[in-house]
C-alpha cells in the first residue's frame, strides 16, 4: 500500500484519536473481569498500534 505524505499525517492523526478513545474505554473497564468487551477492545487497540507502526514506516 502506498501512502502519500499528506495522507500519512491524516491517517496517523486519525489512528491516534482512535487510540485515545480506546484507551478511555479500556480505562473504564480497568480492574474488572476480562470479559468479551474488554478482550475485543484490547484486540482492537493492538491492531491500531500495528497499523500506526506500518503507516509511520511507510
Per-residue pLDDT at 52 exceeds 90: yes
pLDDT of residue 34: 85
CB 45 within 8 A of CB 18: no
pLDDT-based confidence at residue 26 (cuts at 50, 70, 90): very high
pLDDT of residue 2: 84
For 30-49, how does the pLDDT look when each residue is reduced to its tens digit (9 = 90+)? 888 889 999 999 999 999 99
- pLDDT averaged over the chain? 93
Question: For residue 9, what is its C-alpha cell?
Answer: 499525517
pLDDT of residue 48: 97
Count helices and strands (H / E) in the chain.
Answer: 2, 0
Amino acid at each position: 500500500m502506498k501512502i502519500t505524505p499528506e495522507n500519512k499525517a491524516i491517517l496517523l492523526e486519525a489512528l491516534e484519536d482512535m487510540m485515545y478513545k480506546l484507551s478511555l474505554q479500556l480505562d473504564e473497564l480497568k480492574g474488572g473481569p476480562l470479559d468479551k468487551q474488554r478482550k475485543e477492545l484490547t484486540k482492537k487497540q493492538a491492531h491500531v498500534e500495528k497499523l500506526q507502526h506500518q503507516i509511520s514506516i511507510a
